[in-house]
């Protein structure tokens, strides 16, 4: 036991730099673990010290000159830290037990409402609710409303940011045939709402199209257009030509009509959140395609 001139006491140490320092050196090299271990306590009350050390009690666990584990009380909180040396002015706080009985890991900044906190992005409140990027979880598990966040990622790389959601419905009514070199909806379009980019839209469209022996050049697709956009619908797939063959029909019967039901279907992916029109869309690619008419159409759509 040794008492230094400055009042520090050492047990197993003749040069204590703590108020109380207990040290031991092991010479058995075949043992694992550190050869030197120091445990000590000190109290800093000097007003000229930096604010973070004033009137602070410290508890040290040191295994070498670097990498000290220390505990100190600061602003009535109990902080568990790591520092490079025993007098490091910037110790890194690893864990904090606050005076309000909150446990913080990796941060000293409390988020109101959270009793257990990891950093500033995850925590649990006193109701047992878990919040991800939410300091005020409103359910047992609450993900913040951030569309760019990968909330749940599965082993195959699939990302889910919303709960399973299905919206289904249909519309019907008179359709129309687009003019030559114009892309437009052939069926009455159905409105669908996409809540997140990970959702898909299944579209099944039927349309009665009337043809004469002059009918050719009309291609039909599944199409979509965001509500508010003024451009042509975006076409999905390669399209199918709707044409009438005059084989076996006298060319003199140019007013002969053939009424046929035509169908297309597709799954649309990677749409940005918003409201869309979906349905059968068409485009006439040849000036000769003037012999078309349209009856009623149906569009069924699922968002999932």
> Regarding predicted confidence, which is higher, 132 or 39?
132
Q: What gap in Å lies between CA 229 and CA 81, rounded to an integer?
A: 57
Query: What's the confidence (pLDDT) of residue 7?
Result: 87
Tell me the mean pLDDT in the region 183-193.
Answer: 95
Query: What's the confidence (pLDDT) of residue 204?
Result: 97
pLDDT band at 253 (very low <50, low <70, confident <90, very high): very low
Chain centroid, CA 41 distance in Å: 46
124-182: per-residue pLDDT in tens? 998 899 998 888 888 898 888 665 667 888 888 777 777 666 788 999 999 998 888 89
Q: What b/e string do you get for 38-77 counting C-beta neighbours within 10 Å, with b at 16 or more?
A: bbbebebeeeeeeeebeebebbbebeeeeebebbbbbeeb
> Regarding predicted confidence, which is higher, 207 or 42?
207
pTM across the whole model: 0.53
> Quick check: 53 pLDDT over 60?
no
Tell me the mean pLDDT in the region 27-54.
Answer: 57
Query: What's the confidence (pLDDT) of residue 30?
Result: 47
Classify burial at 134, counting beta carbons within 10 Å of its beta carbon; exposed 0-12, middle 13-18, buried 19 or more: buried
pLDDT band at 111 (very low <50, low <70, confident <90, very high): confident
pLDDT band at 87 (very low <50, low <70, confident <90, very high): low
Angle CA 234–240–245, to nearest 5: 140
Query: What's the confidence (pLDDT) of residue 51?
Result: 52
258-284: per-residue pLDDT in tens? 788 899 999 999 999 999 999 999 998
230-239: per-residue pLDDT in tens? 899 999 988 8
Query: What's the confidence (pLDDT) of residue 219?
Result: 92
DSSP code of residue 180: B
Q: Which residue has the tokens 């092991």?
A: 26
Chain mean pLDDT for the chain: 80
Tell me the mean pLDDT in the region 43-66.
Answer: 62
> Regarding predicted confidence, which is higher, 291 or 283?
283
Tell me the mean pLDDT in the region 96-117.
Answer: 89
pLDDT band at 93 (very low <50, low <70, confident <90, very high): confident
Q: What gap in Å lies between CA 14 and CA 180, rounded to an integer?
A: 100
> Quick check: 226 pLDDT over 80?
yes
Domains of the chain and any CATH numbers: 2-97 (no CATH), 167-303 (2.60.120)
> Regarding predicted confidence, which is higher, 13 or 200?
200
Query: What's the confidence (pLDDT) of residue 217?
Result: 83
């Amino acid at each position: 036991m040794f008492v230094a001139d400055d009042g520090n006491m050492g047990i197993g140490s003749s040069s204590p730099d703590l108020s109380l320092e207990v040290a031991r050196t092991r010479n058995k090299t075949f043992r694992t673990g550190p050869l030197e271990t120091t445990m000590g306590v000190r109290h800093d009350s000097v007003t000229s010290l930096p604010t973070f050390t004033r009137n602070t009690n410290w508890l040290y666990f040191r295994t070498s000159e670097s990498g000290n584990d220390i505990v100190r009380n600061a602003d009535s909180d109990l902080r568990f830290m790591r520092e490079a040396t025993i007098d490091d002015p910037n110790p890194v706080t690893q864990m904090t037990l606050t005076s309000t009985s909150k446990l913080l890991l990796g941060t000293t900044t409390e988020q109101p409402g959270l009793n257990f906190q990891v950093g500033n992005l995850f925590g649990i409140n006193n109701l047992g609710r878990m919040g991800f990027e939410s300091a005020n979880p409103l359910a047992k598990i609450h993900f913040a409303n951030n569309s760019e966040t990968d909330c749940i990622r599965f082993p195959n790389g699939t990302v889910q940011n919303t709960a399973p959601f299905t919206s289904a419905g249909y519309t019907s009514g008179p359709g129309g045939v687009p003019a030559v070199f114009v892309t437009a909806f052939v069926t009455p379009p159905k409105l669908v709402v996409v809540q997140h980019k990970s959702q898909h839209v299944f579209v099944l469209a039927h349309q009665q199209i009337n043809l004469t022996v002059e009918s050719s050049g009309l291609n039909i697709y599944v199409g979509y257009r965001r509500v508010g956009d003024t451009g042509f619908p975006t076409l999905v797939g390669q399209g199918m030509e709707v044409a009438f063959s005059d084989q076996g029909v006298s060319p003199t019967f140019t007013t002969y009509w053939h009424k046929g039901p035509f169908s297309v279907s597709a799954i649309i992916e990677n749409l940005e959140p918003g409201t869309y029109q979906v349905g059968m869309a068409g485009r006439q690619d040849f000036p000769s395609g003037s012999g078309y008419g349209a009856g009623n159409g149906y569009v069924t759509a699922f968002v999932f």
